[in-house]
Amino acid sequence: MARGRILAIKWGMNPNSSSLGVDVTFLLVGATALAMATPLIGALLRWRKAPVDPAK
């Protein structure tokens, strides 16, 4: 069975009411660190299915 892919992760929450803030700390540690984090996020996602809203 195909596992599917995580396409992107937008980290954190943006309190700034004027523009979209993106966490660029990963640019410091590079793709390797992100590649290590992605499977952990995948495991968290599979831990419990999320309800979908609204109906699309």
Residues at the site binding other proteins, with contacts judged by CB under 8 A? 2-28, 30-31, 34, 38, 41-42, 44-54, 56
Residue 22: partners with Cβ closer than 8 Å, 6 or more residues away: 10, 11
Q: How far is the CB of 42 from other proteins (least distance, A)?
A: 8
Q: How far is the CB of 39 from other proteins (least distance, A)?
A: 12
H or E element: which one contains 17? none
Q: How far is the CB of 47 from other proteins (least distance, A)?
A: 8
